[in-house]
A and B are shown apart, each in its own frame.
Chain A
Amino acid sequence: MSVTSSVPAKYELRCRECVKTWGNQPRSICDDCFSPLEVSYDYDSIRATFTRERIAQGPPSMWRYADLLPLPENFQPTVPAGFTPLLQAPRLARQLGAKNLYLKNDAVCLPTLSFKDRVVAVALAQARSFGFDTVACSSTGNLANSLAAQAARNGFQSWIFIPADLEPAKILGTQVFGAKLVRVAGNYDQVNRLCSQIADERSWGFVNVNLRPYYAEGSKTVGFEIAEQLGWRLPDNIVVPIAGGSLITKIKKAFDELIQLGLVEPKPVKFFGAQATGCSPISTAVKTGSSEIEPQKPATIARSLAIGNPADGHYALKTIKHSGGWSEDVSDPEVVNSICLLAETEGIFTETAGGVTVGTAGKLYRQDRILPEETTVLCITGNGLKTTDVLVGKYETDEPIPPKIAEFDKYLERTLNAPQKNVPKKDVPETVEA
């Protein structure tokens, strides 16, 4: 296995704190100061090719932004990840008290229906370049699905470490791809700590440990797409679910890069973080005015966001505060009601993280932190088919009727005269009213 790639120096790793450069290698921390490494680019060399026109000629996937991704030379994509729909959401907007609301719908991101497909695609490009034949990750579920699938498609062995209590669909959706799945009796933070130790001992490509600087860059494509799909302009506000804190900081980086390279007009964008109350270290820090993040023990149905010690929390907090944004959190019942609200109003079935985002957005509108006329984008990062367990008992299923028209007429009469069934109770009005 080679340790360093032969990539031309269009990008390289640099310490976020002491600014020492590290070339390109599977490494995520600076040996000198123990701080995180970040991919930095030679923007002057990219400026000539990264234009609106060139991008428009690219494929309908995240690879249209390849110039601003850390990809090996002659990289050939194997999955059409990204370029998911940006949808106007007028019916949801009416419920939230909004007038100019958009949804970035990564519930339909390929190949495994979450935004994690973007980051894994970049990480595996580098894993191949660095010569790994085994890739691994710690995961709250969506990353597990994506790594297992993309490892299979690219011929890697995969080892995947998860908290033991993950949703059944996310466990099955990992095993089906032939991954080695290790269930750990602990929460995500404990799984992640274990993986840091394993990565220290083994020559595996841990996408969110030693490949993390490259992996995290894939999240920028959410930001690039939002800007392009808005007609090469930035929104006023963006609401992003926060787990480890990487996505929100990378969307900020994407917007900054587009401004720096002249693809969009400079504009202040407010960043809003969405968390579940049962795991809310970032929103707690924002609401208490703290510059430090106190770790928490997660207790929420939003398992994909259940990270109590967010590795990128410090940077996520800075992104939110410097932008003039805010962070809020919602209870588990609000999460469920918000999943149903989004489904009923816009026909999008999102997972619990999406419920967190929609519920939080409702709070932010009610608090006047987001104003109705402002262009606001909600990031829907995952698919509801993976977390159906939280809806068990939410809907009644009627007894079947005989296949006779007279029986249907009777059924109709019964149904129309009875209180409505199969409609979620609107018993948490604070999530749906302006």
Chain B
Amino acid sequence: MTITVQIPTALRRLTAGAGRITCSATNLGELFSVLDQQFPDLNPHLRDEAGQIRRFLNVYVNEEDIRFLGGNTYAFQDGDEVLLVPSIAGGSAEAVDVEPSVS
């Protein structure tokens, strides 16, 4: 079984420029392990300190948000195309609670 993972441009500096990766991971946890092994620098960008997928990273399988497919429990099918897409947020709940960085 083979799946394809598309890496966004922002992260390709951590995958030696690779934009598409193929592997035989059977679920999301395995996929992250495979990526960890191949690209050790990538892991902190995908998961937080607690090992959870980062809040602003969305994972899609064949254009569907993986959370609608069962998230971590979804079993990849042969030929699945996985997209890693950053969530484009711009809000700030506490924008001026921290010191301005520009001086």
Q: Which residues of A contact B (CB under 8 A)?
A: 9-12, 14, 16, 19, 21, 28-29, 31-38, 40-44, 186, 189-190, 192-193, 196-197, 200, 208-209, 212-213, 215-216, 245-246, 249-250, 252-253, 256-257, 260, 294-295, 297, 309, 311-312, 314-316, 318-319, 322
Contacts of A322 in B (CB 8 A): 93-94
B102 touches A10 (CB 8 A): yes
Write the nearest CB–CB distance from A292 to chain B, whole angstroms: 9
A246 touches B91 (CB 8 A): yes
Report Cα–Cα, A42/B99, bound state, in Å: 9
B101 touches A19 (CB 8 A): yes
With A34-B10, A250-B91, A253-B95 as contacts: A196 and B86 at CB distance below 8 Å: yes
Write the nearest CB–CB distance from B68 to chain A, whole angstroms: 7
Contacts of B63 in A (CB 8 A): 186, 190, 193
Q: Which of B32-90 contact A (CB under 8 A)?
A: 44-46, 54-58, 60, 63, 65, 67-68, 83, 85-90
A318 touches B94 (CB 8 A): yes
Interface of B is mostly: loop
CB-CB nearest 10 A-B residue pairs: A249-B91, A312-B91, A315-B91, A318-B93, A216-B90, A36-B89, A311-B89, A42-B102, A212-B90, A253-B95
Report Cα–Cα, A21/B92, bound state, in Å: 15
B58 touches A312 (CB 8 A): no
Indicate with 1 or 0, residue by residue over B1-39, a CB within 8 angstroms of chain A CB atoms. 000000011110100000000000000000000000000
A28 touches B56 (CB 8 A): no
Report Cα–Cα, A403/B100, bound state, in Å: 70
Contacts of B102 in A (CB 8 A): 9-12, 21, 40-42
Give 15 A-B pairs besides A208-B88, A252-B92 with Cβ atoms closer than 8 angstroms.
A10-B102, A28-B90, A35-B55, A36-B90, A37-B90, A44-B103, A189-B65, A193-B63, A200-B10, A209-B88, A249-B91, A256-B94, A312-B89, A314-B55, A315-B93
A34 touches B90 (CB 8 A): no
Report Cα–Cα, A238/B24, bound state, in Å: 51
Quick one: which of A32, A186, A189, A215 contacts B90, CB cutoff 8 A?
A215
